């Protein structure tokens, strides 16, 4: 018998960790789909792979046909699943229904909704918006019911279940030529050194919002997106044990997990929520105050591939 689901926020748990088969859905510690007591009806999910409705910034032209094109922003995603409650025996009907009700109860916090199709598991942050469980003759006599559950995903992007991380240190100077014994061919130019640039690959088709961690010791750390020179820079000195965490999804800048330091952003720094990873490769350069370069300093960038 399946364990009772939890209604705790599952933000710290890997999404889709219980899924083993194609067609399965994981929500609040409960599995739906093949091999479970909660089958998905033939009509299947709706809204999962649809493009959400868009808000447009277009402005009508006063003296011509059409409009001036503006920015487009996606609205929330709505996902609906018809779920069969399928107890093996009628005496198990109450327990099967109780677990389903517990997993789909009112809960203000978002949790991971994960779906596996054709070997690919994607996940969204969601919360239940509607639920119906008909108590018709079939349910009364056999304990079987065709229920419906609907989720609303404030962020409509569907993310990979695996997190990706890229790390680099500050650039170091080349050793250069050794002139002590004269120059002899082939010339020894010295060993290679770090250039302070990392490459982040977003394998999805939507912009991803990374979490950036600056590790000290470093003064005035910055990270620049080389494709367009968009920069995050903070006028702060970090000690050897300090970590400055920038969450570009929420727009927060936190020192050592407790204290906000968003006020340390310099005039050259862009709004955090604009610093996204577009689909494909992004080259990011880690820099600091040139008079305070330390080989122990580093930056790490963590993200999930994002899909519409």
224/164 Cα distance (integer angstroms): 19
pLDDT of residue 186: 56
Residue 274: phi, psi to the nearest 5? Answer: -85, -15
CATH 2.60.120.860 domain span(s) along the chain: 164-174+195-307
- 25-52+72-160: which CATH number, 3.40.50.880, 3.60.21.10, 2.130.10.10, 2.40.30.200? 2.40.30.200
- The answer to whether 173 and 199 have CB atoms below 8 angstroms apart is no
CATH number of 164-174+195-307: 2.60.120.860
- The answer to whether 40 and 33 have CB atoms below 8 angstroms apart is yes
277/208 Cα distance (integer angstroms): 5
Question: Which residue has better confidence, 124 or 5?
Answer: 124
Instruction: Record the pTM.
Output: 0.85
- Which range has the worst mean pLDDT, 7-11, 177-181, 216-220, 293-297? 7-11
Residue that the structure tokens 């010339």 belong to: 187
The pLDDT tens digits of the residues spanning 227-241 come to 999 999 999 999 999
Query: For residue 36, how many other CB atoms are within 10 A of its CB?
Result: 18
């Amino acid at each position: 018998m399946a364990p009772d689901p939890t209604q705790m926020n599952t933000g710290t748990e890997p999404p889709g960790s219980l899924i083993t088969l194609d067609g399965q859905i994981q929500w609040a510690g409960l599995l739906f789909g093949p091999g479970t007591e909660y089958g998905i009806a033939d009509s299947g999910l709706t809204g999962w792979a649809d493009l959400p409705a868009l808000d447009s910034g277009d402005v009508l032209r006063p003296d011509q046909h059409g409009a001036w094109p503006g920015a487009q922003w996606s609205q929330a995603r709505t996902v609906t699943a018809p779920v069969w409650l399928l107890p093996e025996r009628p005496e198990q009907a109450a327990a099967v229904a109780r677990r389903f009700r517990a997993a789909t109860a009112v809960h203000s916090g978002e949790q991971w909704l994960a779906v596996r199709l054709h070997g690919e598991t994607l996940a969204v942050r969601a919360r239940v918006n509607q639920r119906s469980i008909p108590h018709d003759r079939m349910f009364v006599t056999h304990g079987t019911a065709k229920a419906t559950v609907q989720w609303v995903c404030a962020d409509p992007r569907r993310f990979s279940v695996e997190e990706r991380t890229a790390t680099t240190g500050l650039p170091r100077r080349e050793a250069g030529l050794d002139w002590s014994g004269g120059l002899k061919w082939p010339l020894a130019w010295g060993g290679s050194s770090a250039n302070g640039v990392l490459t982040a690959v977003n394998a999805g088709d939507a912009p991803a919002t990374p979490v950036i961690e600056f590790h000290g010791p470093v003064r005035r750390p910055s990270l620049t997106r080389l494709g367009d020179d968009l920069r995050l820079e903070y006028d702060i000195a970090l000690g050897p044990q300090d970590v400055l965490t920038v969450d570009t999804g929420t727009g927060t800048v936190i020192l050592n997990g407790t204290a906000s330091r968003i006020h340390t952003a310099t005039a050259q720094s862009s709004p955090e929520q604009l610093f996204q990873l577009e689909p494909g490769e992004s080259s990011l350069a880690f820099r600091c105050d040139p008079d305070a370069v330390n080989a122990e300093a580093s930056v790490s960038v963590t993200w999930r591939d994002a899909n519409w």
